């Protein structure tokens, strides 16, 4: 590999191989690059959202509603499952998005105790614009790879991530059996 083709991770790995030849530092070849890429992606996401006056959490809620399809409406419980936050956090987020005019609540016609949350026209326009901008920025991040390489990378990352999936969020109250047993000494 020529010096021009080497990157910071190559130099980091070489230094660790010199300093700790007893360790297999090969995982750094992949995961240090993934970590660096994640930082670039986070910056691109934040820039896309900021350009459209959105915080990352706002984008998450709005895109969950947008992906639901017309009428872009979900129950708070469905939003919880889509965004993996607690009910208190979701209530706060819905309140703030409603105050900003991006979502509205209405009674659920099928459950008198429930409500449905839907995108307003402003919310729909804002999330669509932010999503388009995000995709443009993500394409820029991937511009060094052709379509076939992007598909290969996606498949490899899927293989790596599959065993790491989070368990589904449960929406039940903890039972006594969920608590660790008391230890009596």
Q: Classify burial at 79, counting beta carbons within 10 Å of its beta carbon; exposed 0-12, middle 13-18, buried 19 or more.
A: buried
So what's the pLDDT on residue 165?
80
List pLDDT tens digits, range 4-63: 678 999 999 999 999 999 999 999 999 999 999 999 999 999 999 999 999 999 999 999
State the virtual CA torsion across 47, 50, 51, 54 in degrees, nearest 10.
130
**Global confidence as pTM:** 0.78
């Amino acid at each position: 590999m020529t010096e021009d083709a080497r990157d910071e991770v190559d130099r980091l790995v070489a230094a660790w191989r010199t300093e700790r030849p007893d360790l297999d530092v090969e995982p750094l070849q992949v995961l240090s690059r993934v970590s660096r890429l994640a930082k670039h992606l986070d910056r691109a996401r934040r820039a896309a959202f900021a350009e459209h006056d959105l915080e990352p959490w706002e984008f998450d809620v709005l895109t969950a509603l947008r992906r639901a399809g017309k009428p872009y409406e979900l129950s708070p419980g469905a939003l919880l499952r889509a965004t993996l936050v607690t009910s208190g956090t979701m209530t706060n987020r819905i309140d703030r998005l409603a105050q900003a005019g991006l979502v509205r609540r209405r009674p659920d016609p099928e459950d008198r105790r429930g409500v449905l949350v839907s995108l307003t026209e402003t919310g729909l326009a804002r999330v669509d614009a932010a999503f388009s901008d995000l995709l443009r920025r993500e394409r820029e991040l991937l511009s060094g790879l052709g379509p076939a390489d992007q598909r290969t990378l996606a498949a490899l990352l899927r293989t790596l991530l599959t065993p790491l999936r989070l368990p589904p969020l449960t929406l039940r109250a903890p039972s006594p059996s969920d608590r660790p047993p008391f230890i009596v000494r």
